[in-house]
A and B are shown apart, each in its own frame.
Chain A
Amino acid sequence: MAAPTLEVRNLRTHFFTRAGIVKAVDDVSFTVERGKVLGLVGESGSGKSVTGFSIIGLVDPPGRVTGGQILFQGRDLAKISEEEMRDLRGNRIAMIFQDPMMTLNPVLRIDTQMIETVQAHKKVSREEARQRARDTLGMVGIPSPDERLMAYPHQFSGGMRQRVAIAIALLHEPDLIVADEPTTALDVTIQGQILAEVQKLAQTTGTSLIWITHDLSVVAGLADDVAVMYAGRIVEKGPVSEVLDAPLHPYTAGLIGSVPSRNKRGEPLRQIPGMTPSLLNLPPGCAFRSRCPRAAEACMAEPGISEILPGRETRCFFPMNTPAEQAA
């Protein structure tokens, strides 16, 4: 088997604020194989976006990657220079942002924003770059791309803007796309269209995807693997169908339980009690302890991540749905 597109090992990204060190990403490891989609799931502030920005090297001060390796096709992105990183950005690794209304520069025409991206990485004429931009716009389903190239972002709807952003990400047929909640701000119907198209593109071009989201239904439909983050750490990861069917970690189970469709009509929604702890001063031990129905004395110590079932890892002393538990 070929080397994975991306292998993140023990990544730590910390923010050095006046109030103290915020461990936004703490000891995170995962692997994305070529052409596969990894869903990175978690609540707001769980560190999933910061993980994405760490990979593409855009963590702004006071934050910085303080440890671990980000092996992209065997090269450690945490070690290379800013120039080398810039060479990869938008070229081999692309990113799609959450809010399509904000990601395109309002005062520049679409053609300017696309051509500059092509020319940043390839020595081609303006005309060739424009050709490439037009083809890519067509590929993401934008009608009459020639005309749309001359338009400004405000002349597009939100869904169309996100398609343009995706087209920009695809300009150089990257090996990895980090998508940071790209469909959260869109209508459900548009979201469905975009998901279907992205999935198709990933399969045909062999591009790997990291899909950051808090929406489990998106992950269920799109991802091959899923990693669930809580308070800067991955608490569970594994193949998406297995994780969603029989979660090992109580937090994953809680997330699944809070999706409305999983409840019977008329029944109250099952919520996870309490709130996400402040990353500024995490209590020792398991970060989910105070909200966990299965918490016990042992949870005062910090659980390590371990492979409990083949291909499935979790960070919990009392995992659910284990064969032993199901037998009992």
Chain B
Amino acid sequence: MTVYLVRRLVQALFVVLAMSVIVFIGVFAIGDPVEILISPDADQIERERAVRALGLDLPLWHQYLVFLGNALQGDLGRSFVFNEPALKLILQRMPATMELAFGAMFIALLVGLPLGLYAGLRPNSPASKTIMAGSILGFSLPTFWVGLMLIMVFAVQLGWLPSTGRGETCSVLGFVGLQPCNVGLQWSWLTGDGIAHMMMPAINLALFKISLVIRLTRAGVRETMLMDYVKFARAKGLSPARVTFVHVFKNILIPVVTVVGLELGSTIAFSVVTESVFAWPGMGKLIIDSINVLDRPVIVAYLMIIVLMFIAINLIVDLTYSMLDPRVRLETKGA
């Protein structure tokens, strides 16, 4: 187990290194931030001073080495625009995106698993056919349109839910009462108002994932129900509930965990559309703004964090496998 973890971490290190090179070159290729950042009226001397201050006068490989050296000390550069550490900018917005992504994933599992299970067990019932038709809608309706519709119906027409922003926030420690609410990382899900604000964007993000989970679960159930071990379980005289929730369910969780893990990663990284529609102050909004003004340090820092996050999620998924399926063992044990 320890050997496995160490090996994975070394692998991760190389991935991060390779990604940093690719990202650095990629961002360099997009364009020159000087044109956007420095006012057109500035004279040659001012320009050169600014370029030198930003470190843009050095050759690319030198810039990269400087970046790498700083990164090793936990400094991913300062934003050209905000003149603040890029890492701090991103981390400030991270809780908002995280809670939205986890909220969406939670809804997707809560709704998707039972519906998928039902559709798999009774594939020919009218309810199952309705569920499957609904899942096609979930797949194909564009996120931004559904977001706008949600706002129209629930915020504008019915006035039940707020349409924009995070609402009231609180830190975890503040929620427990150890410190004032406004100190530390701010979360919306700790307050009633925050949850009301989260509701629509989370559902909007969840819609696609619900469909995905339904289809995966249904396919898994359909496949597993035909297995001999399910028939054998029935031949042992077990109750249908035990057969379904122990023998079938544990077997279908493996593909579901894989996809949910990857989906979670991409939701955290790329929930830009939903964050824009609901003016949710998350990382997605930040990265789009940074790309617009070619704020290189923020883009690079953001992508590096996303790479780290995907590595972490993949590791967790692999660890979960080994818990779910005894045939996947991370170490070789004497049989």
Q: Which of B227-242 contact A (CB under 8 A)?
A: 227-229, 231-239, 242
Residues on A with beta carbons closer than 8 Å to the beta carbon of B229: 102-106
Known A89-B237, A116-B238; contact A106-B232, beta-carbon cutoff 8 A: no
Chain A residues with Cβ below 8 Å from B57 are none
Q: Are B232 and A89 in contact (CB under 8 A)?
A: no
Known: A58-B231, A97-B228, A154-B327. A108 touches B246 (CB 8 A): yes
Given contacts A99-B228, A103-B228, A116-B242, 9 further A-B contacts (CB under 8 A): A95-B232, A95-B235, A97-B228, A97-B232, A103-B229, A107-B325, A116-B246, A120-B236, A168-B236
Q: Which residues does chain B contribute within 8 Å of A106, judged by CB atoms?
A: 229, 251, 325-327
Chain A residues with Cβ below 8 Å from B324 are 107
**Cβ 8 A contact of A91, one of B227, B237, B325, B326:** B237
Bits for B265-288, please: 1 = Cβ < 8 Å to A, else 0: 000000000000000000000000
B331 to chain A, nearest CB (A): 14
Residue B29, interface by CB 8 Å? no
The reply to whether A117 and B228 contact each other, CB–CB distance below 8 Å, is no
**Cα separation A91 to B239 with both chains bound (whole Å):** 13
Chain B interface residue bracket vs A: 20 to 34
The verdict on A89 contacting B250 (CB below 8 Å), with A105-B229, A107-B324 known, is: no
Query: Which residues of A line the B interface, CB within 8 A?
Result: 56, 58, 86-91, 94-95, 97-99, 102-109, 116-117, 120-121, 151-152, 154-155, 165, 168
Majority-rule SS of A interface residues = mixed
> Chain B nearest CB: distance from A221 CB in Å?
25
If A102-B227, A102-B228, A152-B326 touch, does A116 touch B251 (CB 8 Å cutoff)? no
Say whether, besides A152-B327, A155-B335, A105 and B239 are in contact (CB < 8 Å): no
Bound: A104/B239 CA distance, A: 17
A120 to B231, CA, bound (A): 15
| Contact B237 A121, beta carbon cutoff 8 Å | yes
Whole-angstrom distance between the Cβ of A67 and the nearest chain B Cβ: 23
- For chain B, what secondary structure do more than half of its interface residues adopt (helix, strand, loop), or is it mixed? helix
Nearest A-chain residue to B250, judged by Cβ: A107
Most buried by A among B235, B250, B326: B235
**Residues from chain B with Cβ under 8 Å of A165 in the complex:** 232
- For the complex, give the distance between the alpha carbons of A93 and B69 in Å: 72
B247 at the A interface (CB under 8 A): yes
CA distance A56 to B234 in the complex (A): 10
Q: Which residue of A lies closest to B225 (CB)?
A: A60
Most B C-beta atoms less than 10 A away, residue of A95, A97, A103, A154:
A103
A32 to B233, CA, bound (A): 25
- Interface contact A117-B238, CB-CB below 8 Å: yes
Q: Which residues of A contact B227 (CB under 8 A)?
A: 102
Distance A87 CA – B324 CA, assembled complex (angstroms): 30
Q: Are A58 and B234 in contact (CB under 8 A)?
A: yes
> Hey, which chain B residues are within 8 Å of A58, CB to CB?
231, 234-235
A87 to B231, CA, bound (A): 16
Binary contact readout B150-163 vs A (1 if CB under 8 angstroms, 0 otherwise): 00000000000000
Most buried by B among A58, A90, A91: A90
Which residues does chain B contribute within 8 Å of A90, judged by CB atoms?
235-238
